[in-house]
Amino acid sequence: MDENELVKSAKRGDQLALAKLFQNNYTFLMKFLLKISMNKDLAEELTQETFTKSIEKLHLYNFQSKFSTWLISMATNLYIDNRRKKKRERNWKLEKEQDIRKLKWQIENQNEEWNDCLDILSTLKEEHRTAIILKHYYGYSYDEIGEMLHVSPGTIKSRIHHGILQIRKELDISEEKTRSSAK
């Protein structure tokens, strides 16, 4: 059964079809949330939350985009809401730093090298990071991203542009620091 048929069955109340749809999209969604949140536990939590919400909203899915795109859109908004709530807490900056350190440790444990870019990417505003990832890793168009984040395509273009320039600037600073410490 292809994805559209599974969705049609799920909309008719077939729970097995819905379970299969979720299983097929789990890794994709989890890894997407991992990239935007840079926190494995939060990514897993939000993946489940996205599935829960999608059961509630399944009747609104209109086949205009891929099911995975629909899930990504919901997941992105859940992540942004989660961050807004988190920012009201006192120690959120400290917690964020701890999350990045934990992720760095997890990656290095897998014999992968940590990339400076990831460090800088994690310090960008959520809206900028999400737009960059959606555009340059997943290949969505400005229009599609704008629709997902409920802003105009022009705003997305500007967020990506400024985000990349900020990464470049930070990379230059860190390269300069490395050079001066080598001397």
Partner 1 sequence: MKKKLGPQQNEEYEATLKQVEEGLEKLNRSFANETPSLDWFREMVAMETVKNRRRWYKELGLFILMAITILTIVLYTLNELPVIFFLSQFVVTLFIFIYRHYKMQRR
**Euclidean distance between the first and final Cα of the chain, in Å?**
63
The H or E element that residue 78 is part of is helix 67-87
Instruction: Kindly tell me which residue out of 68, 127, 142, 164 binds partner 1, with binding defined by CB under 8 A.
Output: 164
DSSP annotation of 125 reads: -
The whole-angstrom distance between residue 51's C-alpha and the CA centroid of its chain comes to 15
- Applying the rule CB under 8 A, the residues between 107 and 136 that interact with partner 1 are 107, 110, 112-118, 121, 132-133, 136
Q: Is 75 in the site for partner 1 (CB under 8 A)?
A: no
Alpha helices in 40-152 (DSSP H): 40-57, 67-87, 92-109, 116-123, 126-136, 142-149
Of 1 and 19, CB closest to partner 1: 19
Contact residues: partner 1, CB under 8 A:
15-16, 18-20, 22-23, 26-27, 30-31, 34-35, 40, 48, 51-52, 55-56, 103, 106-107, 110, 112-118, 121, 132-133, 136-137, 157-158, 161, 164-165, 167-168, 171
